């Protein structure tokens, strides 16, 4: 039988955070779908309603946490898939740096939008 291989090393902080963000994302995504697809139907979603929701500190905090968790989880998964495919050495460091910068830019843009939509600052 083939031996299982994964670039995730158990006990590594990225391994642990990948699992924590997965659990959080499942709950946050369920909340998102229930709130914005079942309670309020797509035709009822308005810019003003989005501003009102983002103006509530609890909702704002959840959406910012959702953004950061989703960005980390997705990019970390892509990075580890590339490592599993054989990425190593200098290429691994360059790809890691590029993905880190891309993640930080994604989070910065998401925070900029969230803050603008909240009207809190």
Domain ranges of the chain: 13-118
User: What are φ and ψ of residue 43, in 5° steps?
Assistant: -70, -20
Confidence band for 2, pLDDT divided at 50, 70 and 90: low
User: Quick one: which H or E segment has residue 24?
Assistant: helix 13-33
Q: What is the pLDDT of residues 33-62, one digit of tens each?
A: 898 888 877 788 888 988 999 999 999 999
**pLDDT score of 16 more than 80:** yes
pLDDT value, residue 42: 75
Please count the CA atoms within 13 angstroms of the CA of 112 that sit on its side-chain side: 6
- pTM, two decimal places: 0.83
Q: Is residue 12 classed as helix, strand or coil in its secondary structure?
A: coil
pLDDT value, residue 35: 85
How far is residue 69's CA from residue 63's CA, in Å, rounded to a whole number? 10
pLDDT value, residue 9: 64
How far is residue 118's CA from residue 58's CA, in Å, rounded to a whole number? 11
Confidence band for 14, pLDDT divided at 50, 70 and 90: confident
Return the structure tokens found at 91: 């290429």
Structurally, at CATH architecture level, domain 13-118 sits in Up-down Bundle (1.20)
- pLDDT, average across residues 83-96: 93
How far is residue 121's CA from residue 32's CA, in Å, rounded to a whole number? 24
């Amino acid at each position: 039988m083939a031996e299982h291989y994964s670039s995730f090393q158990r006990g590594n902080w990225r391994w642990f955070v990948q699992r924590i963000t997965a659990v959080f994302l499942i709950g946050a995504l369920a909340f998102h779908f229930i709130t914005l697809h079942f309670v309020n139907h797509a035709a009822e979603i308005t810019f003003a309603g989005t501003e009102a929701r983002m103006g509530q500190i609890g909702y704002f905090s959840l959406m910012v946490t959702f953004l950061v968790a989703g960005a980390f989880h997705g990019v970390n998964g892509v990075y580890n898939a590339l490592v599993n495919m054989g990425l190593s050495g200098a290429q691994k460091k360059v790809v890691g740096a590029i993905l880190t910068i891309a993640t930080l830019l994604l989070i910065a843009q998401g925070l900029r939008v969230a803050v603008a939509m909240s009207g809190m600052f």
